[in-house]
Chain A
Amino acid sequence: MRRARLGVSGVLAMVLISVMIIIFLISYAYVTEQSRRIQALMEERYRMLSESREIARSVSSNWMYDETARMLVLEVTNWYREPLVITGIVTVDNTGGYNVIRLNTTITPGENRTLQLALSYSPKAVFLSLAGKGTVSTAMASQKKTGEASAGIKMWSGGLLDKIYSGYVKTRYGYITIVNSSQTRIIGDLLRVDLPGTNLSDSDLQKIRERDNVSITKVISIKERTTINMTVEGTLNTTACVGGVEAYLDVSASVSLVRGGNISSFQLYLYNYTTASFDLIVSNTTSINYTGRIQLSNGSYIIRLSVDAKKNVNLTVDVANVYAYCRFNRTIYEGYALLIGDSQEVAFYGVANGSLGARLYSVAFDVTGYSLGANSSFSLLGNQLFHAYSDGSDVVVRLFDLGNITGGWAYLARCAGFSPTDILAIEPLMKDGKPYLLVAGSQRYCLVDTSNTTAPSVNSTPTGIMIGTYDGFLAGASDYLRVYLTGINISSNKPSIFVFDGQSFSESVEIPVARPVGLAISGGALWLMGDSGTLYMIDTATKQVSIYEVVPSFLPREKGDKLERIDNKLIFIRGDSTSEYWVLELG
């Protein structure tokens, strides 16, 4: 009986354990399978969303508006692997209002389709709505223009050149106004406060200067040895400096004992707004004279004097001078100027609302055998046109005073020791309140003072920095405080943008573009286009790189192409013989 009891118990226990194991295995398998299926569904969702971006990048589109026929002509090419349906178009007018045009047009892979749609106004921007098999996408069409300027360039080359190398510089600070149909007045400077839009002259070059001539003296009572801080704060009126401010600060400070005791140390600190802490500037025992340069991001400065002393001290501080160089980038005049150059001449075009107007002016280089975008480059600063070219051993920099168009070219400076094969960049820059030109090529650079002909020193770029690519692609931009140049970080062998701040080069950001064909800067954003046509926006403060899903539908994109930002538009000028320029509305 005892055996029977044990047997029954054992059988029951085994049955129960078996049931539990079976239930556990079933439930485990169920949960694992459900997790896998959920994971697969999430991956499918992610794939669909990724596909949306891929579709946007794979469709190139541009539009033109036919004023006569009141038709919007839209050209769409499908480079995606599957057919796409254009489900509609949204056109935006100048006031920001919009029209929705619903479509159901299928374009097969590789197909180029032109759509003509009735529209009563010339749009400011055109957006496409696209649908693939499982996802949708949105693309912004670029505006394609052909006009008088394009025809002018073509005529300008006149068939004398087998290839046009074009370049241009926007005169953001050097405006062109047409006084009458036969006369061009050019006014330019970099340091301009808010002035009326007429009667500007060279005397209008101004810097905001604050000279308070007020010193602060304070007797500080100390009994035992201790450290005492004294803080002086000041604010510049920089409300007119919408383009940024660069400041210089002169501080003198002294400390003396009132009666007995001793001073162990005496320090001057400046508040660093970026790190939110005080940076030590100089340490001394009795007095400090400091003339330095600080960047005032918000027009304010905070100075801290710190004295480690025993017994009472007499502390004096004088913020003797605060100089602020103010960049002003408000549009005073109606037009801008672009320079369109080929290997022989530079032509000026008026620009209004992001469109090239009539050709206003031209200057011949008067040297032959050089190619812009290779061993020759030019830049506009104020009312002076600068041209740099390599004569085989040195880089020669010349200037042409556009205020005296009959004066011809004048020699400015020679940067010795450049290689004749160096590709050249020449970009304007303000340093110590004076206009300079940065001339850079491969692994050398020189800073040319535009106001004298003293031979500038030629420096090597820091180890690891090469300006331009090995196959000769170079794009540059300047906001007048810093020059941005594309190149190669030799250490990592990766394409990068390098920044020259008037003192030294540093790497700004690694870029996903092996062959840059255009670089423009505006309002803290760099716009970069590679030969693949992808457009990138780089935040110069955060160094974040964003992709704009807009690819111009022409090929090739090559050396000599240029990109420029004007107002809310990007203008891309082709460097080849097509004489085309493309305008992209940024919205």
Chain B
Amino acid sequence: MTSRVSRGVSELTATVLLALIIIAAGGLVLINYYSSWSSEWHLYASSYQKALSMVNEAVVDLVYGYYNISEGAIHLVLSVGNGGVAIDTVYINESIYWRRGDPGLTVNGVQRSDGSLPTSATLVELVISRGISVTPGSELSVKIVTQAGNTYVFKVVARG
């Protein structure tokens, strides 16, 4: 009787232990699987959000522009579509020329260090004052990166 009971207990213990081992092993596999996929999900989710904001952002096109050497300022007349655009960074010849928060950017004559442009389709006159060393007549590559992540590259000439 005693031996039967003790055998029964040990069998039950073994069953429970086996079940715990399977659950623990399975749980570990699931946790590991989840952690690897969760980072990828997050990546896809943020990529989607970025793509969505890029599409929703207004399109920008350069109408006329040049770098005024005597003023030490770049003049850009931009055609901006509906939806609004916020400029994050402006590069000239691949070097950072202006960043969000920097002073020196005027939009239609008004200082705007946050880089935001009008939200309805219009012509925008952008002047960014910062003297750089360029020779008259040289062609400058101007790259505008918006806060949504869109990039526009234009060519302007240095004058004056």
Interface residues of chain A, those whose CB is within 8 Å of chain B, are: 1-2, 4-5, 8-9, 12-13, 16, 19-20, 23-24, 27, 30-31, 34-35, 37-38, 41-42, 44-45, 48-49, 52, 85, 87-88, 90, 92, 96, 98, 100, 102, 104, 127-131, 134-138
CB-nearest residue of chain B to A31? B44
B132 at interface, CB cutoff 8 A = no
Query: Once the chains are docked, how many angstroms separate the CA of A35 from the CA of B81?
Result: 27
Structural contact, A41 and B48, CB atoms closer than 8 A: yes
Name 7 interchain pairs, CB-CB below 8 A, sorted by A: A9-B15, A12-B19, A42-B51, A45-B51, A45-B150, A129-B63, A136-B61
Bound CA–CA A102/B41 (angstroms): 46
The answer to whether B121 has its CB under 8 Å from any CB of chain A is yes
**Contact between B8 and A90 (Cβ–Cβ < 8 Å)?**
no
Q: A8-B19, A16-B23, A31-B44 are in contact. Are A87 and B122 (CB under 8 A)?
A: yes
- Binary flags per residue of B1-43, CB closer than 8 Å to A gives 1, else 0: 0000000100110110011001100100110011001001100
B45 proximal to A (CB < 8 A)? yes
In the bound complex, what is the Cα–Cα distance between A45 and B29 (angstroms)?
40
Q: How far is the CB of B156 from chain A (nearest CB, A)?
A: 11
A136 lies within 8 A of B51 (CB): no
User: Could you say which residues of chain B place their CB within 8 Å of the CB of A129?
Assistant: 61, 63, 77, 79, 123
B48 to chain A, nearest CB (A): 5
Asked if residues B123 and A8 are in contact (CB atoms below 8 Å), the reply is no
Contact (Cβ within 8 A) A136 B30: no
Instruction: Chain A residues near B60: list those with CB within 8 A.
Output: 136
Main secondary structure of the interface of A (DSSP, over half): helix
Is B30 a contact of A137 with CB atoms below 8 Å? no
Mostly, the B contact residues are: helix
Min Cβ gap A134→B in Å is 7
Check if B64 sits within 8 Å of A44, measured CB to CB.
Answer: no
Q: How far is the CA of A499 from the CA of B18 in the complex (A)?
A: 86
Contact assessment for B77 and A98 in the assembled complex, using a CB-CB cutoff below 8 Å: yes
CA distance A48 to B59 in the complex (A): 8
A27 lies within 8 A of B37 (CB)? yes
The reply to whether B22 and A102 contact each other, CB–CB distance below 8 Å, is no
Is B59 in contact with A135, judged by CB distance below 8 angstroms? Answer: yes
| A38 closest partner in B (C-beta) | B51
Chain B 54-79 near chain A by CB (<8 Å), digits 1 or 0: 11001111111010000000010101
* Contact present for B51 and A41 (CB under 8 Å): yes
For B123, give its contact among A19, A90, A96 (CB under 8 Å). A90
A52 CB contacts on chain B under 8 angstroms? 59, 61
Q: How many angstroms from the CA of A48 to the CA of B57 in the assembled complex?
A: 11
Cβ–Cβ contact B29 & A2, under 8 A? no
Is B44's CB under 8 angstroms from A35's CB?
yes
Distance in Å: Cβ of A28 to nearest Cβ of chain B: 9
Residue B82 interfacial (CB < 8 Å): yes
Distance in Å from the Cβ of B68 to the closest Cβ of chain A?
9
Q: Is the CB of A138 within 8 A of B51?
A: no
